[in-house]
Every structure is written in C-alpha cells, then in structure tokens.
Amino acid sequence: MALVMTATESANTQNEQKKAVARAAVGVLRSGMHLGLGSGSTSQEFIRLLGEKMQSGALRVDGIATSVESENLARQCGIPLIEPERGLKLDLAVDGADEIGPGLSLIKGGGGAHLREKVIARAARYFLVIADASKVVPRLGRFPLPLEVVPFSLPWVMDEVAGLGCKPVQRMSKNSAQPYKTDQQNFIVDCHFGQIVDAEKLARQLQQIPGIVEHGLFLGYAKAALVANDGRVAAMLPDGRSKPVEELSELP
Ligand code: A5P
C-alpha cells in the first residue's frame, strides 16, 4: 500500500475537505439571516451549496458578497444580494483563509479580496472561517502576507515593508504581464516573511504606512473555524479548544 499521497490525491482530499466544511457551514444557517459571503474556492463551495438549499425551499437568507466574483456566483445561484447600509449588522460572515494560526489569527487575501473580506467580517456579529486542514499552521507567515496598496504609493510601500524584514513582490495577473488589480482598482503586494514572529506588532506597523489600504492579517476577528480532517469537521475556537459543529452554541 502506498503511504505517500500523490499531488492529485492530495488535491482531491483538499477539495473533499473544502466541500465538507462548506456543507457544515450551510448546516448552521437559519432562515432570515443576513450573511457575509466570502471569496476563494472554499467560499465558492459554500455559496453553491447555499444556493442549492435555497432552491429546495429549505432555507431563506440574503447576503452581501466580499468580491465581484462571489457576487456573480451568488447571483447565479439565486441568493438575494443586499448592499452596505448604515446600521446594517450581518448575522454571520462565512469565509475561507490562507493560514489559520494560534488564537485563530489568520492570513487572508490570497484571492486579493481581503479588504472587503475584513469590512464584512467586522460588520458581522459572528465571523466563521471554513478551511481544509492544510491551512492550519503553528505560526503565520509561510503564506506571503497580501497588502492592498494604492498604485501611487507602491514604490515607497515596497521600500517600507522590505524594512520590516520581508521580500515584497507585486502580484501580477495570472493571464497577462499586467499588474493584478483588486475590485477597488488597487495593487496587491505579497510580503514573503517566512514566519511572522509578532503578528500584532506587524499589524500595527503596517497600519502606519500611508498607501496600504488594508493588510491580510485578521487578528481577533474569527469566532470559530470549521476545519476538516480525517473525514470529520470540527470547530476550532480562539482559545485552542475544538468542539463538534453542533455544539457551537454561541452562533447567532
Ligand atoms: C481571498 O482573498 C482569500 O482571503 C480567501 O479567503 C483565501 O485565499 C482562501 O481561499 P481558498 O478557499 O481558495 O483556499
């Protein structure tokens, strides 16, 4: 029996895990909720499954998307969309992550959507992360930290963040030699730190640099993370405990 997984087997496992956590997240929803709809492949699974459940008539919710891509998918799936509005509090935001570190500290923005993702996470009473097991890390930083940067400020932002100990790389579009542009028409700089020793301190330093619209560190945002491993989905909590998804009693 082969003990080492091939790349294809590992990708299949990861996809199965994404579907499993998306299914589990749909399972905690209740009719009438206003939702935040995340971005990335795991969130797309969530949006698809949510659409199916709504089409079956078993659930009635509306949502606000964290990216144009998710908004288009939600529309295709028949999920009613709402707009940002004063006084609006979302019941629950569900989103993926690129890394989940201690205390449910996160790196997000692999898809370039972390600005809207953070806005939506903050506008929600409960921020629920959904992820495959590969995202859980003992320390953040192996995944390059994305920054959304105003184009005019790019050279100086790169100089400043290099001074914080990373290798900054401007993200390029997948299909062209053009710089990648966010939904807000800003640039993304991916900061290769290798490891982030003090995430709180780094977040404060990044917030002080003019031209950085938002960084991809989400500290103190996630209330729980549904993570799939060995065919089971468990809810990880900020204090390091795990519990069965059904026992997430503090959900709105
Ligand atoms: C989008 O900008 C990101 O924050 C995503 O939530 C993150 O990249 C997770 O994506 P996957 O679900 O595709 O791993």
Q: Pick from 131, 144, 134: which is nearest to 215 by CA?
A: 144
Q: Distance from the CA of 39 to the center of ligand 1, in angstroms?
A: 6
Q: Which of 98, 134, 143, 180 to mutate to test the pocket of ligand 1 (most atoms within 8 A of CB)?
A: 98
AA identity, residue 11:
A
Dihedral of CA atoms 120, 121, 126, 130 in degrees, nearest 10, equals 110
Phi, psi of 222 (to 5 degrees): -75, 130
Is 99 in the active site? Answer: no
Per-residue pLDDT of the chain (252 residues; tens, 9 = 90+): 444 667 776 777 899 999 999 999 999 999 999 999 999 999 999 999 999 999 999 999 999 999 999 999 999 999 999 999 999 999 999 999 999 999 999 999 999 999 999 999 999 999 999 999 999 999 999 999 999 999 999 999 999 999 999 999 999 998 888 999 999 999 999 999 999 999 999 999 999 999 999 999 999 999 999 999 888 999 999 999 999 999 887 777
Torsion of the alpha carbons at 123, 65, 129 and 194, rounded to the nearest 10? -100
Q: Supply 63's token pair.
A: 């949502």
Structure tokens that stand for 191 in this block: 């900061």
Using the mean position of ligand 1's atoms as its centre, give its distance from the Cα of residue 7 in Å.
20
**The token pair that represents 182 in the structure block:** 């966010």
Rounded to two decimals, what is the model's pTM?
0.94
Task: Pick the catalytic residue from 45, 69, 71, 117.
Answer: 117
